[in-house]
Amino acid sequence: MPVIHKSTIKRARQTLKRAQRNRAVSSAVRGVVKKVLAAVEEKNREEAAALLREATAALGKAASKGVLKPNTASRRISRLAARVNSMAAART
């Protein structure tokens, strides 16, 4: 029978908590990004701009918590902003 240390049990508990927290954060990020993309598809410029601010905050927060790598968050923010800005440029 293997020896199971107290530290191993604690690590397992911590891993479960962190995985649950990370899943919640990444799920929230995905939801906000989908809302931005839906607003862009509907060509709703004001709503897309407002949701872009929310998505930028969510992605930055996920990066600071270690759920996403900083470059990944930055790239996603950049691509979302490009879509919203191109929609604004197309109207003028």
pTM, full prediction: 0.84
Identify the band that residue 89 occupies on the pLDDT scale cut at 50, 70 and 90. confident
CA distance 92 to 87: 9
Determine the topology of domain 6-91 in CATH.
Answer: Methane Monooxygenase Hydroxylase; Chain G, domain 1 (1.20.58)
Residues 6+ apart with CB under 8 A from 91: 45
- The arithmetic mean of pLDDT across residues 34-49, rounded, is 93
Where in the chain are the domains? 6-91
User: What's the confidence (pLDDT) of residue 2?
Assistant: 78
pLDDT at 92 over 90: no
